[in-house]
Amino acid sequence: MKLHELKNTPGAVHRRKRVGCGEGGGHGKTSGKGGKGQTARSGGSIRPGFEGGQMPLYRKLPHRGFNNKNFKTVFSVVNVSDLARFDDSVTEIDAQLLAQVGITRDASLPVKVLGNGELARAIKVTAAKFSDTAKEKIEKAGGQALVA
């Protein structure tokens, strides 16, 4: 099968509805838009939740409760493959160095090391969190995973 041989399933394609072409076509006069008013106009639509000027339900109900989003800890995520990019002269890696090199954007954010990739040499890595696989790969290569 080739792209130029593709055909629609019979009945999938309908002809365009021609509105405003006289009463005989079934879509004349108001062209399927009902009577007058805002919804009959082009571009006229009422936003969800609008109750015609009456105080809407979502404003009547009290908004109470706790949302943990305000207190969420945001981490800079680094993979083991990112640590492997450093040359042999680097033996210790921390958040400051990662931000300096450009692997992370912000040195003030805590770093979490994930286990995607491989590490061939011993490196001492200091971070806020390590995934189990990342810790395993760093220690298997002869390095240290220190939680700061």
Supply the DSSP string of 40-104, one letter for each residue.
Answer: GSTT----TT--TTS--HHHHS------GGGGPPP-EEEEHHHHTTS-TT--EE-HHHHHHHTSS
Is 27 inside a domain boundary? no
Residue 119 DSSP label: -
Is 100 inside a domain boundary? yes
Is 135 inside a domain boundary? yes
Q: Which backbone phi and psi does 86 adopt, to 5 degrees?
A: -70, 145
pLDDT in tens, the chain (148 residues): 899 999 999 999 999 999 999 999 889 999 999 989 998 999 888 999 999 999 999 999 998 888 889 899 999 999 999 999 999 999 999 999 999 999 999 999 999 999 999 999 999 999 999 999 999 999 999 999 999 8
pLDDT for position 85: 92
pLDDT for position 63: 87
Is 65 inside a domain boundary? no
The domain of 130 spans 71-147
pLDDT for position 22: 92
Is 52 inside a domain boundary? no
What CATH number is given to the structural domain containing 105?
A: 3.100.10.10
pLDDT for position 137: 96
Is 104 inside a domain boundary? yes
Total tally of structural domains belonging to the chain: 1
pTM: 0.58
pLDDT for position 133: 96
Is 3 inside a domain boundary? no
